[in-house]
Amino acid sequence: MNRVFEALAADLEWTDLPEAKCPEGVLNTGVAVLAETSFVDVGVWEHPRGVSTDVEADEVFVVLSGAGRVVLDDGTELRLTVGTVGVLAAGTATTWIIDEPLRKVWITPR
């Protein structure tokens, strides 16, 4: 598969996060899977202003728009701004604190 994608213009499927992952009230996030290869999945994810929690899979991501931070279970804080490249390890508990609606491209192993 040889393709390019307009990640900022990708149509997302919007769903509510589970209440247990939204300490300040339920949030609606968007996702689109852009590609699936034999070794990685690639997609776009968008998070509105607000706070959510998760337990991560192995992931590399690039922030396309927005701003915020991710607080890891050990207290480490990762600042997120346009152009930030992040790496998250599987099993890490995270809290996403988003100040401006954030859109990222993510890559996860299959």
**2 is a domain residue:** no
pLDDT in tens, 24-67: 999 999 999 999 999 999 999 999 999 999 999 999 999 999 99
Total count of domains within the chain: 1
Residue range of the domain that includes 71: 13-109
Identify the burial level of 70 via C-beta atoms within 10 angstroms of its C-beta, where 0-12 means exposed, 13-18 middle and 19 or more buried: buried
Selection from 59, 60, 58, 63 nearest residue 99 by Cα: 63
Backbone angles phi, psi at 19, to 5 degrees: -55, -35
**4 is a domain residue:** no
Other beta carbons within 10 angstroms of residue 19's beta carbon come to: 10
Q: Which amino acid is at 31?
A: V
**6 is a domain residue:** no
CATH number at residue 75: 2.60.120.10
- Average pLDDT, integer, range 16-26: 96
The answer to whether the beta carbons of residues 47 and 60 sit under 8 Å apart is: no
pLDDT of 82 higher than 80: yes
